[in-house]
Amino acid sequence: MTVDELIAAVHSWDDKALGTLLSRGADPNQVDRNGRTPLSVAAEQGAVEIVQALLAHDADPSVPDTDGQTPYHIASRLASTNIEAELEGRAKRQAQGRPGTGAIVITREELYGGTELVRAVLDTDDGPVELAMETGHAAITRLLEPRLGIRLPFAELTQLALAHDDPDDAERWAIIYVLHLRGDTETFQGAAELCASTQPSERLLGANILAQLGVASGRPGSPFLEQSLPILRRMAEQESDPTLLYGVIFALGHHADERAFPEVVRLAGHDSEVIRDAVAHALPKVLPEGHTEGLSALIRLTQDTDDEVRDWATAGLAGLQDDNTVIREALYARLDDPCLIIAVEGARGLALRGDRRGLDGVRRYLAEPHDDEDWYMRGLVLETAEGLGDTQLLQHLNA
């Protein structure tokens, strides 16, 4: 496994190939012939999730390239740069001297996590010059700072986070992740104060921080559960703004404590699909075993008019420890869902209970058009066929 393989995976945004190489022991701190580490390349590309994957495998952000620039320097510079102008300039330099150079076409594609993929294409007679960057450089600087011993004050970090109106902004969540890592009393007290603010944006940020404070640091359990849970439960009772309430319910789901069940189940029939989506995530995690009312609410969510709500509720129902006829029939009903992924989730739930009707979901997957690159869905289908021991279907899947 060479550094060229790692860098090729980074260049192509192929997180699956990268994960495979890293899990097999590839060294993320190797330097290529141009003096770059995979982390330097990922930082330049603004690829937040790839940077996180490399850091999780002990990539060293202090290793400089041949120009003496560390990944932090690279990301910091590009965080304050117009990415379109940067790509346009690079494309023109690469195309210099080629005949038939035309106009540059810039496209932007919104990605999961609040970033965009910006592409620049410049056609020449010798073929197109194609360049791309993700707009995650500011988020990457936040992720690298604690690895380099840079500890910004809580107040400064929260102001940086609050500067972003979009609650899904990548830099905002990178800051929240850094605060999760700290997992100290100072951060808890600051988050608790935010939760009591008169400003909704500050209360949402406080709830986002309390959701996993200290968990990301690798400590077992949630070290601030007992202090955080009463705050979040009270917010779930009092808040009405859908975006804010969504964050609070998600936070309760992260804590996965049955004491939050009343606040979560109360919102299962909310008019907003945004809130029902959050409940579909959280309810299976706080649902007491054998609780009839809660189970009925979750099953109703598997029949919701919103695809996302049905998907998450079906996945949650499938993963419950409970097993009875009501659960099995609710899962079986989802095998005819208009969304293939929901049918596959239902099939997995049946397989976990030894119900061979789950194979109907595998057959549907094989019969209908589907994305072969959807590794999550394919993994569920394989798990179902393997769990029910159908060698013939497994052969079809692996053909």
Task: Parse the chain into domains and list their residue ranges.
Answer: 3-77, 83-140, 151-252
DSSP 8-state secondary structure symbol assigned to residue 202: H
A 10 A CB-CB count for 218 gives: 8
- At 124 the pLDDT is 84
Run means of pLDDT, 10 residues per run, the chain, 399 residues: 85 86 90 91 95 93 91 95 92 80 86 87 85 94 94 96 93 94 95 98 98 74 91 97 96 96 97 97 96 97 98 98 97 98 98 97 92 85 93 82
170-182 vs 200-211: helix crossing angle, rounded to 10:
50
- Three-state DSSP at 110 gives strand
State the Cα–Cα distance between residues 294 and 264, nearest whole angstrom: 10
Question: What's the half-sphere exposure (Cβ side, CA atoms, 13 Å) at 351?
Answer: 24
Tokens 């409940």, residue?
Answer: 279
Q: 189-212 burial by CB neighbour count: b if 16+ within 10 A, else e?
A: ebbbebbeeeeebbbbbbbbbbbb
- DSSP per position, 358-398: GHHHHHHHHHS---TT-HHHHHHHHHHHHHTT-HHHHHHHH
Q: 34 Cβ partners below 8 Å, 6+ apart?
A: 65, 66
Calculate the alpha carbon distances from 229 to 56, 210, 236 in Å.
29, 9, 10
Burial, 110: exposed, middle or buried (Cβ in 10 Å; 0-12, 13-18, 19+)? exposed
A 10 A CB-CB count for 276 gives: 27
- Token digits for 215? 């968990």
State the Cα–Cα distance between residues 302 and 320, nearest whole angstrom: 14
Tokens 């003496």, residue?
Answer: 68
Number of continuous H segments (helices) and E segments (strands) in the chain:
22, 3
Under 8 Å between Cβ of 314 and 342: yes
Q: 381 Cβ partners below 8 Å, 6+ apart?
A: 344, 347, 361, 362, 365, 397
- At 77 the pLDDT is 95
Nearest to 249 by CA among 292, 214, 293, 301: 301
Per residue, what are the HEC states of 333-364? HHHHCCCHHHHHHHHHHHHHCCCHHHHHHHHH
State the Cα–Cα distance between residues 20 and 342, nearest whole angstrom: 27
Tokens 């592409």, residue?
Answer: 119
- The four Cα atoms 305, 311, 313, 315 give a dihedral, to 10 degrees, of 160
Bridge partners (DSSP) listed for residue 131: 120
φ, ψ of residue 112 to 5 degrees: the values are -65, 135
- At 103 the pLDDT is 81
Q: Which CATH architecture has domain 3-77?
A: Alpha Horseshoe (1.25)
Q: 333 Cβ partners below 8 Å, 6+ apart?
A: 302, 303, 346
